[in-house]
Structure 1
Amino acid sequence: MHVTARVEYALRALLALAAAEPSALTAHTLADTHGLPLTFLQSILGDLRRADLVYNQRLPRPGYRLARAAEELTVGEVLRLVSGARAEERAEPPAGEPSALVGALRQVWQAADTAQLEVINAVTLADLRDGRLPDLVRALLA
């Protein structure tokens, strides 16, 4: 799995918004306090708004807020929405009959992809915000 800077910054911004709830945070505040490039962050926040993950509150205190509860947003969902493609899809191998060795290698990639999906789809923003990882993730770290 390749995690781009865009995905990383989106997750960092969403985590900051989850931690700030119920307050709203401006793009400038997010950029300054979390070391994110402002112009890039503004583009990311626009994408997150269009994906209905955040909304831009105007008054009484302007800024961005989560559009859904942090408990409902998984890392996998954010990754898929921000990357603009199905992040879990591996490129198709070249055509032709694979040898037994290559077939076994494909099975390893499939198992690794499945494990990655299980992890990113199990972890919510609330889990990260609260510093409590699901049992599945803790077991893999042990």
Structure 2
Amino acid sequence: MLTRKGKYGLKALVHLAYLPTGQLAFVNDIAKNNNIPKKFLDAILGELRNAGFVQSRKGKDGGYRLARPADEIRVGHVVRVLDGPLAPIPCASRTRYEACEDCNEATCQVRHMMLEVRHAIAEVLDNRTLSEMRDSTVEELSEALKYQA
């Protein structure tokens, strides 16, 4: 399950993806526009900076921006950084595998299904970029506006 941390991190990155290249956004603006508690966002942006997704500048004219183009940032990588493995159970994880104490992995039907779930989640998230998330939002909004007219 995507945690609030993961959700807020993705929302903040999409916010930054809308900015012209090199432009900085204030934390307060990101928090306010996306309904994210500022203190929590500060911590999330720190993790995203440490992982190389964003750059920051301190001071009066400081703020955050993407560290690389939005089309080079994979959603799956962001989710793993903020929330950990994509697998719903440890024995189905590729990055943080842990054997179960209560079953035989070769015959455990729960594990086999969770491997499928993990693969399906990874297929979507690892093949979607931040720019695609940003652009799909724009497309959805323009479609919604067509029906309201």
Is TM > 0.5 for Structure 1 vs Structure 2?
A: yes
Q: CA RMSD in A?
A: 2.3
Residue aligned with 1:20, SS: coil
- 1:95-134 aligned at under 5 Å gives the runs 95-97=102-104, 103-131=108-136
Residue aligned with 2:18, SS: helix
> Residues of 2 paired with 1:26 and 1:98: CA distance?
48
Residues 44-87 of structure 1 deviation map (CA, whole Å, 9 limit, x = unaligned): 1111111111111347942100001100111100011112x333
- TM-score for both structures, normalised by structure 2: 0.76
- Structure 1 unaligned spans of 5+: 133-142
| Greater Cα shift, 104-113 or 30-39 | 104-113
Contact 1:77 1:121 in 2 (8 A): yes
Residues 62-116 of structure 1 deviation map (CA, whole Å, 9 limit, x = unaligned): 2100001100111100011112x3333622433344796xx33322221111111
Residue aligned with 1:24, SS: coil
> Residues of 2 paired with 1:12 and 1:104: CA distance?
36
User: Using CA pairs below 8 Å that are at least 6 residues apart, which structure has the higher relative contact order?
Assistant: 1
> Residues of 1 paired with 2:105 and 2:32: CA distance?
51
Counterpart position of 1:69: 69
| Greater Cα shift, 68-77 or 104-113 | 104-113
Residue aligned with 1:122, SS: coil
> Residues of 2 paired with 1:10 and 1:89: CA distance?
20
